[in-house]
């Protein structure tokens, strides 16, 4: 009798989980009724390359010159009050009291909610320089960083991976071939790394995607830029979306599954968003939106030289994009708010 009850209980749990999966709602098309502001920030001879926020009233943006670090508290952008002798190539965090920043000198900084402190300087005896390009993690004691090692002379660059266990950073991988690791994202229990191999001799630069399970790094995609236009990925909602030329894919069970194409003029080869029906699309002359059916401009620039960066801070009702205008030598934060 007890065995029968146990079997019935297991079946009921299985059916409940199955039904929950089957009835998971489809994402609704995203809204487009934003009110936009362009907050100009004076950072001469610099440009913003990183942005991250825990909420619309706690957003950080950084540039490629030392101490060009700015903070938005919901009212205005303000330069961080203390000098930081490092560039800000990467910004990422778990909360407003646990934020990480990486620079082109291999230095990693940490923000505890009150102040930024130098946490680690990565050096490899075989290379002259190290640049931290991105962070990703799920808990305070399980965080990864990726970047680029450079020899100082020549083009033999190598991608690398660092890991933080809650106490210290350690080098866990250095590529044995030409590579630049510039993005890392997590999906389920695996990490994915975006790389480019620059070949100055042949001009055949190669885009690659790697899968990392915590022990091994596996190449899952590699093609030269003579065969594709570009290749990158981004976390949209809770899923990872891979952009290969103008086609968008998910990666599941070892295969790329095509979801849709963005075959449009002036496409800028970056996507960001909340779901595949609420996508922001970088254009060569502005910012557009894809709702699962159509694409419409949200914001147009006066020049094709003005461009949105590859990073964005996306929240439920507000979005932030860093924008560079080299013609007028200015940078600004494009801030959109959905109408109430």
258-289: per-residue pLDDT in tens?
999 999 999 999 999 999 999 999 999 999 99
Kindly indicate the confidence band of residue 11, based on its pLDDT and cuts at 50, 70 and 90.
very low
CA distance 171 to 132: 12
Q: Flag whether 8 is in a domain.
A: no
- Token pair in block for residue 193: 């790394």
Query: For the chain, what is the domain count?
Result: 1
Question: Does residue 282 contact residue 270 with C-beta atoms inside 8 Å?
Answer: yes
- Asked, for residue 18, whether it belongs to a domain, the answer is no
Q: What whole-number distance in Å separates Cα of residue 255 and Cα of residue 82?
A: 47
Q: Pick the more confident residue, 83 or 37.
A: 37
Is 2 inside a domain boundary? no
CA 303, distance to chain mean position in Å, is 25
Closest among 283, 207, 210 to 240, alpha carbons compared: 210
CB-hemisphere CA count at 13 Å for 277?
Answer: 9
- Residue 123 has what DSSP assignment? -
**Is 279 within 8 Å of 289 (Cβ atoms)?**
yes
Q: Which residue has the higher pLDDT, 201 or 209?
A: 209
The answer to whether position 16 is within a domain reads no
User: Which tokens hold the place of 128?
Assistant: 């002259």
203: confidence class by pLDDT, cuts 50, 70, 90: low
Whether 7 maps to a domain, the answer reads no
Asked if residue 303 has pLDDT above 90, the reply is: no
What's the CATH code of the domain at 93?
2.130.10.10
In a domain, residue 290? The reply is yes
Measure the CA–CA gap between 221 and 210, rounded to whole angstroms: 7
Q: What is the mean pLDDT of residues 224-235?
A: 94
Range of the domain at 84: 27-338
Evaluate whether 106 touches 132 at the Cβ level (below 8 Å): yes
Any domain includes 199: yes
Q: How far apart are CA 6 and CA 225, in angstroms?
A: 57
Predicted local distance difference test score (pLDDT) of residue 200: 67
- The verdict on residue 4 lying in a domain is no
The whole-number pLDDT of residue 20 equals: 41
**182: how many CB neighbours lie within 10 A of its CB?**
20
**Looking at residue 197, what DSSP letter applies?**
E
Q: pLDDT band at residue 35, thresholds of 50, 70 and 90?
A: very high
- Within 13 Å and on the Cβ side, how many CA atoms surround 292? 11
What is the pLDDT at residue 278?
98
Nearest to 287 by CA among 334, 234, 233: 334
| C-alpha pair distances (Å), 90 with each of 4, 83, 125, 255 | 56, 17, 23, 29
Take residue 130 and report the two structure tokens written for it.
């190290």
pLDDT, greater one: 272 or 23 = 272
pLDDT for res 154: 62
Write down the H helix ranges in 95-135: none
Of 244, 282, 236, 238, nearest to 260 by C-alpha is 244
Would you place residue 135 in the very low, low, confident or very high pLDDT band (cuts 50, 70, 90)?
Answer: very high
Higher per-residue confidence, 163 vs 13 = 163
Token look-up 């990480």 returns 100
User: For the chain, first and last CA: distance in Å?
Assistant: 58
Q: How confident is the model at residue 23, as a pLDDT?
A: 52
- The H-assigned helical ranges of the chain are 2-22
Average pLDDT over all residues of the chain: 89
Q: How confident is the model over 187-213, as a mean pLDDT?
A: 89
Residue 15 pLDDT exceeds 60: no
Residue pair 124/138 in contact (Cβ under 8 Å)? The answer is no
**Cβ pair 181, 147 in contact under 8 A:** yes
Contact (CB, 8 A) for 181 and 161? yes
**Per-position DSSP letters for 69-91, written without gaps between them:** EEEE-SS-EEE-SS--SS--SEE
Please report the pLDDT score of residue 179 as a whole number.
93
Helix, strand or coil, per DSSP, at residue 54: strand
Residue 1 has pLDDT above 70, yes or no: no
Q: What is the pTM of this model?
A: 0.89
Percent of all residues in the chain with a pLDDT value above 90, rounded to a whole number = 73
């Amino acid at each position: 009798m007890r065995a029968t009850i146990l079997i019935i209980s297991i079946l009921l749990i299985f059916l409940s989980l199955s039904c929950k999966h089957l009835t998971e709602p489809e994402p609704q098309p995203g809204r487009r009724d934003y009110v936009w502001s362009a907050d100009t920030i004076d950072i001469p001879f610099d440009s913003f390359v990183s942005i991250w926020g825990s909420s619309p009233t706690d957003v950080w943006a950084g540039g490629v010159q030392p101490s060009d670090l700015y903070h938005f508290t919901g009212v205005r952008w303000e330069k961080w009050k203390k000098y930081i002798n490092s560039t800000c190539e990467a910004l990422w965090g778990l909360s407003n009291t646990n934020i990480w920043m990486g620079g082109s000198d291999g230095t990693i900084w940490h923000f505890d909610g009150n102040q930024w402190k130098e946490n680690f300087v990565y050096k490899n005896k075989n290379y002259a320089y190290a640049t931290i390009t991105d962070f990703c993690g799920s808990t305070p004691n399980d965080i990864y960083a990726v970047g680029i090692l450079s020899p100082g002379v020549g083009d033999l660059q190598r991608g690398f991976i660092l890991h933080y266990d809650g106490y210290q950073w350690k080098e866990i991988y250095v590529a044995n071939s030409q590579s630049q690791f510039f993005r890392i994202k997590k999906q389920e229990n695996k990490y994915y790394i975006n790389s480019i191999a620059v070949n100055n001799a042949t001009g055949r630069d190669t885009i690659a995607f790697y899968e990392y399970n915590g022990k091994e790094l596996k190449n899952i995609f590699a093609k030269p830029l003579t065969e594709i236009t570009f290749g990158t990925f981004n976390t949209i909602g809770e899923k990872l979306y891979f952009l290969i030329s103008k086609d968008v894919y998910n990666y599941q069970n070892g295969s790329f599954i095509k979801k849709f194409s963005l075959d449009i003029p002036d496409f800028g080869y970056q996507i960001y968003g909340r779901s595949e029906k609420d996508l922001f699309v970088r254009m060569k002359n502005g910012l557009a939106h894809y709702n699962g059916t159509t694409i419409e401009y949200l914001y147009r620039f006066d020049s094709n030289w003005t461009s949105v960066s590859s990073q964005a801070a996306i929240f439920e009702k507000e979005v932030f994009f860093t924008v560079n205008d080299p013609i007028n030598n200015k940078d600004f934060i494009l801030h959109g708010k959905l109408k109430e």
